[in-house]
Amino acid sequence: RRITCDVRSACTSTPGPPPQEIPKNCQTTNGPELLCGDDSFAMARVPGVPPTVGEAGRALLTMSGCFPAIGIAAFSKASASPYSHAFGEDCIRFNDSVLAILKNRPEIRTVAISSPFDAPVSSEFVLLKRSGDTFTENEVSLDVAVEGIKALVEAVRALGKRVVVVTPPPVASFDIGDCLERKARGSVILGRYSDCKIYVSEYRRFRSRTLELLNQVALKAGVEVVSYHDFLCDDTTCRTEIDGKFLYRDSGHLSYEGSETIARQTKLAQRLISAAR
């Protein structure tokens, strides 16, 4: 199963000093009109975007695990997690740097931000807030997360650019990629998930806080939230393969082929550009 990144690792910022520019190998043209960010879920969509974006061009700037917001970040309570307090500070600085870069890139007209959007509303995380030059730790809060994302949307718009939010794809409690591989090999798969499909009721229950967060972002930030739900799901289940192509590589990330298939069939790039405001 290929990781869904068609660009080099230079496109993914690591903890430490934030990027000062978009690496050239993270752009499909010298003057891209569309910027995709912010974390690993942005990377999961990228392979499908270039073939559908056309001459407009696409750029990518991302930091894995860093959700798109201004002045706040989420870090894990687990002591051994790479998403530490220090990571949270770096994430806040990364999002600041994205704005600084956008200020100097007038050709970029549309910014598409995506994320799992689960960390800022998960009890397994702590919310880090910046106040001046200091950082304080707080319990996760849907309202605070919404305000942080709204602040980012407004800051990008203040630069004369349009914004669209992309939801994460439906997720499962099992490894979809592994299930599809076993199914393709003819292995016997027992139990509820023998068809490797995602059940809508379980997905909505599993991601209820995230879905509410996105609803509030759409309402309070006045931003369009583009979802895969209508394309992948009916009232009961969500597809995990199309024409024999696996859409997922694990429980929630799209596969390389899946990203391309969905992007082509939904005209994703055009949809993002037209939905942005």
Reported as a single tens digit per residue, the pLDDT across 85-114 is: 999 999 999 999 999 999 999 999 999 999
CB 161 within 8 A of CB 110: yes
Phi-psi bin for 39: left (phi > 0), alpha (psi -120 to 50), beta?
beta
What does the block give as tokens for 28? 């499909």
Q: Once rounded to an integer, what is the mean pLDDT over residues 241-268?
A: 91
| pLDDT of res. 53 | 62
What does the block give as tokens for 107? 């050709």
Measuring CA to CA, how many Å separate 39 from each of 42, 54, 87, 179?
Answer: 5, 23, 13, 25
Domain limits of the chain? 9-170+212-233+268-275
| pLDDT of res. 38 | 60
Tell me 19's DSSP state.
P
As a whole number, the mean pLDDT across the chain is 90
CATH architecture assignment, domain 9-170+212-233+268-275: 3-Layer(aba) Sandwich (3.40)
Reported as a single tens digit per residue, the pLDDT across 58-67 is: 899 999 899 9
**Cα distance between residue 128 and residue 143, in whole Å:** 14
3-class SS of residue 62: strand
- Choice between 5 and 14, residue whose per-residue pLDDT is larger: 14
Nearest to 258 by CA among 231, 224, 226: 231
Cross-strand partners of 226: 166
Burial of 230: CB neighbours in 10 Å, binned 0-12, 13-18, 19+: exposed
Nearest to 112 by CA among 55, 58, 154, 47: 58
| pLDDT of res. 41 | 53
CB 29 within 8 A of CB 55: yes
Vertex 38 angle, CA 34 and 42, to 5°: 75
**Cα distance between residue 154 and residue 146, in whole Å:** 12
Give, rounded to a whole angstrom, the gap between the first and last alpha carbons of the chain: 35
Q: Which residue has the tokens 């759409």?
A: 218
CB 63 within 8 A of CB 39: yes
**Cα distance between residue 51 and residue 153, in whole Å:** 26
| pLDDT of res. 49 | 58
- 226 CB-near residues (< 8 Å, 6+ apart): 164, 165, 166, 167, 271, 272, 275
Sign of CA dihedral 86, 91, 93, 94: positive
